[in-house]
């Protein structure tokens, strides 16, 4: 099984989503899928009228209703090597005493963050039978994330990534044959049931080619469910002339700076954000240590982040998404959602793996207060 080299989050930018993906000329692994029965099952965009935050009335994530969040995308078994003394070149080896294993991918990290903060969350993905006994899959189950919409392939192994983190950035090698033609899963009965039971669907995958995905997402939008996506660093999608037709179906999109510029050709962050605002209702740009930027009702809103010591940036952008969507489904104003995303994204970078430093709701509120 050959491994495929993947780049993540664009060139030297922290805060991107999980994977680059190439979906052309793929064999369909879907015909032998089986769905899983496991456990579990949050709310809507509030435009900012006043930037003042009334902290005493921030509501729990299930206040407006408890239909919650569904996350669709790719699941990975992640092996993260960090505290590297240097970056090896071809033919070289470096050694480290620091490594960890985690449930990986935008799907897992986004879902774990949202669920830990109190948002009822379910995931929709496909994994191999080999995933069932792993600590990575068990972490999802123990966190209360529902896996009822997931399916298990009888022969293909679960997607896997080896990640090397160095000096605040990272590189990856990924095997992901099982994720080819992932969009077929959207039409399966178990997935459809989970989508109908949710208030918002977040898509954490490359969605290539965009025209094909736009038709699928349009059908979902007509059901009234809220929609968002993090496409990751995938030039095939980001530079496609079909991309605007896909983005017009979304409530939010979550690119980092490099991805936003690739999508639009914009030379500055703000220019890229304004161009994206022509296509998607509220583009949210993740800017790493510089916080984030969003455009709503024609107005640009910048929100700073907290300062942390970065250990591993893997999944920090996906942790941002989980914090933002938690606030969104709780009915928080946009500015508070952005603060929540910044806090979760920054904390994620302080430990290896994107889901190892999720704050409690109390800690989240305390850190959000520090962002002015």
The confidence score (pLDDT) of residue 67 equals 85
- Across 337-352, average pLDDT: 92
Q: Which residue has the higher pLDDT, 49 or 296?
A: 296
Q: Which residue has the higher pLDDT, 172 or 58?
A: 172
Structure tokens at 59: 């509501």
Q: Other CB atoms closer than 10 Å to residue 229's CB: what's the count?
A: 30
Judged against a pLDDT cut of 50, whether residue 22 lies above it is answered with no
Average pLDDT, the chain: 84
**CA dist., res. 316 & res. 234, Å (int):** 18
- Render the burial of 172-207: b for 16+ CB within 10 Å, e for the rest: bebbbbbbbebbbbbebebbbebbebbbbbbbbbbb
Q: At what angle do helices 269-276 and 257-264 cross, to 10 degrees?
A: 60
Judged against a pLDDT cut of 60, whether residue 7 lies above it is answered with no
Judged against a pLDDT cut of 80, whether residue 57 lies above it is answered with no
Residue position matching structure tokens 């929609």: 227
CA distances from 343 to 109, 144, 187, 311, 349 (A): 14, 22, 35, 15, 10
Q: Give every strand in the sheet of 151-153, ordered side by side.
A: 34-35, 151-153, 126-128
**CA dist., res. 336 & res. 179, Å (int):** 34
Judged against a pLDDT cut of 70, whether residue 20 lies above it is answered with no
The length of the chain, given as a count of residues = 372
Judged against a pLDDT cut of 80, whether residue 173 lies above it is answered with yes
Band of residue 160 on the pLDDT scale cut at 50, 70, 90: very high
Rg (CA), the chain: 19
Q: 113 near 138, Cβ under 8 Å? A: no
The confidence score (pLDDT) of residue 66 equals 66
* Residue 365 CB partners (closer than 8 Å, separation 6+): 55, 58
The confidence score (pLDDT) of residue 169 equals 76
The confidence score (pLDDT) of residue 31 equals 40
Judged against a pLDDT cut of 80, whether residue 14 lies above it is answered with no
The confidence score (pLDDT) of residue 177 equals 95
Judged against a pLDDT cut of 50, whether residue 325 lies above it is answered with yes
- Across 24-31, average pLDDT: 41
Q: Which residue has the higher pLDDT, 312 or 315?
A: 315
| 120-154 confidence digits (pLDDT tens) | 999 999 999 999 999 999 999 999 999 999 999 99
Which of 27-31, 83-87, 148-152 is most confident? 148-152
- Whether cis (ω within 30° of 0) applies to the bond prior to 307 is no
Kindly list the domain boundaries of the chain, sorted by start residue.
4-45+55-369
Judged against a pLDDT cut of 90, whether residue 56 lies above it is answered with no
Q: Which residue has the higher pLDDT, 30 or 156?
A: 156
Count Cα neighbours of 58 within 13 Å in the Cβ-side half-sphere. Answer: 22
**Percent of the chain whose pLDDT exceeds 70:** 82
The confidence score (pLDDT) of residue 76 equals 94
Judged against a pLDDT cut of 70, whether residue 12 lies above it is answered with no
Band of residue 309 on the pLDDT scale cut at 50, 70, 90: confident
The confidence score (pLDDT) of residue 333 equals 97
Whole-prediction pTM: 0.81
The confidence score (pLDDT) of residue 203 equals 98
Pick the CATH number of 4-45+55-369 from 3.40.225.10, 3.40.640.10, 3.40.1190.20, 3.40.50.10860: 3.40.1190.20
Band of residue 166 on the pLDDT scale cut at 50, 70, 90: confident
Band of residue 352 on the pLDDT scale cut at 50, 70, 90: confident
Task: Write out the chain in H/E/C secondary structure.
Answer: CCCEEECCCCCCCCCCCCCCCCCCCCCCCHHHCEECCCCCCCCCCECCCCCCCCHHHCCCCCCCCCCCEEEEECCEEEEEEECCCCCCCCCCCCCCCEEEEEEECHHHHHHHHHHHCCCCEEEECEEEHHHCCCHHHHHHHHCCCECCCCEEECCCCCCEEEEEEECCEEEEEEECHHHCCHHHHHHCHHHHHHHHCCCEEEEECCCCCHHHHHHHHHHHHCCCCEEEECCCCCHHHHCCCCHHHHHCCCCEECCEHHHHHHHHCCCCHHHHHHHHCCCCCEEEEECHHHCEEEEECCEEEEECCCCCCCCCCCCHHHHHHHHHHHHHHCCCEHHHHHHHHHHHHHHHCCCCCCCCCCCCHHHHHHHHHCCC
Band of residue 48 on the pLDDT scale cut at 50, 70, 90: very low
């Amino acid at each position: 099984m050959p491994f495929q080299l993947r780049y993540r989050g664009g060139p030297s930018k922290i805060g991107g989503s999980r994977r680059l993906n190439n979906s052309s000329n793929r064999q369909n692994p879907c015909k032998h899928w089986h769905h899983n029965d496991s456990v579990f099952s949050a709310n809507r965009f509030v435009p900012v009228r006043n930037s003042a935050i009334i902290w005493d009335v921030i509501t729990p994530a299930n206040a407006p209703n408890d239909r919650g969040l569904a996350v669709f995308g790719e699941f990975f078994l992640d092996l993260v090597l960090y505290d590297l003394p240097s970056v090896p070149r071809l033919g070289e080896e470096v050694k480290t005493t620091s490594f960890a294993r985690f449930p990986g991918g935008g799907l897992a990290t986004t879902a774990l963050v949202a669920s830990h903060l109190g948002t009822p969350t379910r995931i929709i993905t496909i994994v191999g039978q080999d995933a069932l006994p792993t600590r990575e899959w068990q972490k999802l189950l123990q966190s209360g994330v529902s896996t009822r919409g997931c399916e298990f392939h009888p022969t293909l192994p679960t997607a896997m990534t080896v990640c090397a983190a160095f000096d605040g950035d990272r590189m990856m090698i990924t095997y992901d044959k099982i994720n080819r033609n992932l969009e077929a899963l959207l039409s399966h009965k178990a997935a459809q049931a989970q989508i109908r039971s949710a208030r918002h669907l977040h898509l954490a995958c490359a969605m290539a080619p965009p025209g094909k995905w736009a038709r699928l997402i349009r059908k979902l939008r007509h059901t009234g469910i809220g929609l968002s996506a993090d496409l990751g660093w995938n030039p095939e999608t980001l530079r496609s002339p079909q991309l605007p037709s896909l983005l017009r179906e979304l409530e939010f999109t979550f690119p980092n700076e490099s991805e936003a510029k690739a999508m639009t050709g914009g030379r500055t962050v703000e220019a890229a954000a304004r161009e994206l605002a022509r296509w998607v209702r509220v583009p949210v740009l993740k800017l790493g240590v510089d916080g984030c930027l969003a455009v709503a009702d024609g107005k640009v809103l910048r929100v700073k982040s907290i300062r942390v010591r970065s250990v591993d940036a893997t999944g920090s952008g996906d942790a941002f998404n989980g914090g933002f969507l938690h606030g969104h489904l709780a009915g928080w104003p946009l500015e508070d959602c952005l603060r929540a995303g910044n806090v979760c994204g920054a904390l994620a970078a302080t430990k290896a793996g994107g889901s190892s430093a999720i704050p409690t709701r109390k800690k989240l509120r305390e850190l959000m207060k520090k962002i002015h």
